[in-house]
Amino acid sequence: MVGPFVSATSSEPELGASRAAGAERVPVVHAVTNDEIVLRADFLERAQNVMQAGGARVAVHVRAPRLGGRDLYRLASAIAQLQHVTGAWAVVNDRADVALASGARAVQLTSRSMAAADVVAFAPDLWVGASVHSSQDAQSAKVGGARWIVVGHATGDSTAGQVDRGAGFIERLAADPAMPVIAIGGVRPEDVPRLVAAGAYGVAVIRGVWNANDAGAAVIEYLSAHGTPGGR
């Protein structure tokens, strides 16, 4: 059994209020975890700092593919409880069932997940993001009801054989203003203005937040680079 997944607060998430139609916008900084990060003894404390620092402009993505369903649910529930007290979002990677059961605000679908349309059909109140690797993926996500897309290799450059990467790819996808583009892939604070100029709505970060000495301060740095204030 995994040890550190203990609720950081006794407050219950108020999902009805948080999902009021038209009341929310997709966060602009997405702090994505991995298996190693969530097993750190101070993870929940650092996650709470991230969520308090960024408020509604930040999402914590619970991404831990090696965890079993029980531990993933416990972890997601602990993060979901922080939504009400911070205004930030909890997002569960891949597992729409765990996202729904834990009270997370959203699920981030991967290429191996359920289709966006299927998630929307059984969980219409759950916000859905989708990771895409091509223009076709992006179109499928939009048709299926995804509310945002995550685009990888954001800081790389397109080549003759790899056109679906870099700022140029983001610019093409961002031509559709109805689908916010979240850029991921080694994004540093100094990269954010260039990505936003290319059309990115926001950025997703792993090491830049979780490996920082002060994860909350790191989030503020990304938000400042984006031109978006933090806080609730």
For position 16, what pLDDT does the model report? 38
**Greater pLDDT, 35 or 165:** 35
- Which pair of tokens denotes residue 22? 């038209």
Report the chain's mean pLDDT, rounded to a whole number: 88
Nearest CA to 138 out of 179, 168, 167, 95 is that of 179
**Greater pLDDT, 163 or 176:** 176
For position 229, what pLDDT does the model report? 66
For position 111, what pLDDT does the model report? 92
- Using CA atoms of 3, 9, 12, 16 in order, give the dihedral in degrees to the nearest 10: -100
For position 7, what pLDDT does the model report? 46
Alpha helix positions (H), 87-214? 96-102, 116-122, 135-144, 166-173, 192-198, 207-210
As a CATH number, domain 26-226 is 3.20.20.70
Mind listing the pLDDT tens digit for each residue in 188-203?
A: 999 999 999 999 999 9
Q: What's the rounded mean pLDDT across residues 59-71? A: 97
pLDDT > 90: percent of the chain: 78
Quick one: pLDDT band at residue 17, thresholds 50, 70, 90?
Answer: very low
pTM of the entire predicted model: 0.87
Q: What's the rounded mean pLDDT across residues 163-188? A: 87
- Burial (Cβ within 10 Å: 0-12, 13-18, ≥19) of residue 117: middle
pLDDT above 70 (res 14): no
- Which pair of tokens denotes residue 191? 């990269």
Mind listing the pLDDT tens digit for each residue in 97-155?
A: 999 999 999 999 999 999 999 999 999 999 999 999 999 999 999 999 999 999 987 77
